[in-house]
Structure 1
Amino acid sequence: MIKRQVIVVKTYCFKLYKAKRNRKLHKVINIAGIIYNHCIALHKRYYRLFKKSLNIYKLQKHLTKLKKIGKFSYFKEVGSQAIQDITQRIDRACKLFFRNLKHKIRTAPPSFKKIRKYKSFTLKQAGWKLLKDNVIEINK
């Protein structure tokens, strides 16, 4: 008899309306879009120079260095795990693109997104709290 372990993942999806109390969340989502586009630009530049895909760990290390520079200090408003999720999504998309190229399936590489159309970011462990009556508190 084979016993399988089942992992349960809870996902909450909320729609944010334009309200004063949601300004900070909208700002964080916009910064996540900027980070996404920055990572895409780095991937394209790296491929143009070295003809291979950028390693996810190098990319994450680069972003942590950028957060320490004054020009990019606003990256700190997005949680580190949310940034890691952005880099993981881009890495999966690049790997899928190169796999499809290898198997001669016609696809496009991951591309830039308009920041105003970037709609979400992921909070894995930190940055949120579940309160009574199914209320979620995000970043205080």
Structure 2
Amino acid sequence: MLKAYKYRIYPNIEQALLIEKHFGCSRFVFNWALALQKRYYAIFGKSLSRTKIQSHLVKKKKKAKFSWLSEVNSQSLLNALLNVHTAFTNFFKGQAKFPRFKSKKIPQRSYQCPQHCTVNFEQGMINLPKLKGIKAVFSREFIGNIKPLPLVKLPQANTMQAYWLIMVKHCRH
């Protein structure tokens, strides 16, 4: 059985900048893959496979113009591709509308870390790929394996500060 908890995190300035980079890169990859899918759909009437889009992304990351995509966790980018693929699959099944581009202006941002995430309850820290030692406040502990982990930034009412959350899903036995 899966159970989920939300924990507030307090990243330092460097960590916050890298998290913001993850948000931006994930949004960029989502929008790029969506544009690629739209072009392909307009020409052939079907969507590209996940593996073809992934191979296009790998080629894109190797170009000097897009080398900044290598500064973030690659699995977060692959998760953005998975989101595009899922959106198109749901569209073709008639379960959702045609996918739309993600806007920079929406204050709530998120990205997902599929694996290699660890939690240290004693020190109050969460370690993510390329982000080590993020301070967190744990209201309760859990036992089990961590599943894909979304990191969310929400705007706080009447302030310029953000409210950072990490949602931990774990398998309970």
TM-score of Structure 1 vs Structure 2, range by shorter chain: 0.7 to 0.9
| Separation in structure 2 between the aligned mates of residue 66 and residue 38 of structure 1, nearest angstrom | 11
Partner of 2:110: 120
Mind listing any 5+ residue stretches in structure 2 that lack a counterpart?
A: 133-173
Q: Over residues 116-137 of structure 1, what are the superposed CA-to-partner deviations in whole Å (9 max), with x where a residue is unaligned?
A: 43611111223x4423333113
Which residue identity is paired with 1:123? C
| Separation in structure 1 between the aligned mates of residue 58 and residue 3 of structure 2, nearest angstrom | 28
Question: What SS is found at the alignment partner of 1:114?
Answer: coil
Query: Of 24, 30, 34, which residue of structure 2 is paired with 1:30?
Result: 24
- Residue 48 of structure 1 and its aligned partner are, at CA, apart by 1.1
Q: Over residues 35-64 of structure 1, what are the superposed CA-to-partner deviations in whole Å (9 max), with x where a residue is unaligned?
A: 111111111011112111111110011101
Alignment of 1:73-88 (within 5 A): 73-88=67-82
Partner of 1:3: none
| Separation in structure 1 between the aligned mates of residue 105 and residue 61 of structure 2, nearest angstrom | 22
Partner of 2:171: none
TM-score by structure 2 length?
Answer: 0.63
What is the aligned-residue identity percentage?
28
Alignment of 1:1-140 (within 5 A): 6=1, 8=2, 12=6, 14=8, 20-21=13-14, 22-100=16-94, 107-117=96-106, 119-126=109-116, 128-131=117-120, 132-138=122-128, 139-140=131-132
Higher helix share: 1
- Residue 15 of structure 1 and its aligned partner are, at CA, apart by 6.1
Aligned residues: 127
| Separation in structure 1 between the aligned mates of residue 42 and residue 74 of structure 2, nearest angstrom | 28
**Root mean square deviation of aligned Cα:** 2.4
Q: How has the CA–CA distance of structure 1 residues 29 and 86 changed in structure 2, closer, same or farther, with 3 Å as cutoff?
A: same
Q: How has the CA–CA distance of structure 1 residues 135 and 116 changed in structure 2, closer, same or farther, with 3 Å as cutoff?
A: farther
| Separation in structure 2 between the aligned mates of residue 125 and residue 42 of structure 1, nearest angstrom | 27
Q: Would you identify which runs of 4 or more consecutive aligned residues in structure 1 move more than 2 Å? A: 8-17, 115-118, 128-134
Mind listing any 5+ residue stretches in structure 1 that lack a counterpart?
A: 1-5
Q: How has the CA–CA distance of structure 1 residues 112 and 16 changed in structure 2, closer, same or farther, with 3 Å as cutoff?
A: farther
Question: What SS is found at the alignment partner of 2:112?
Answer: coil
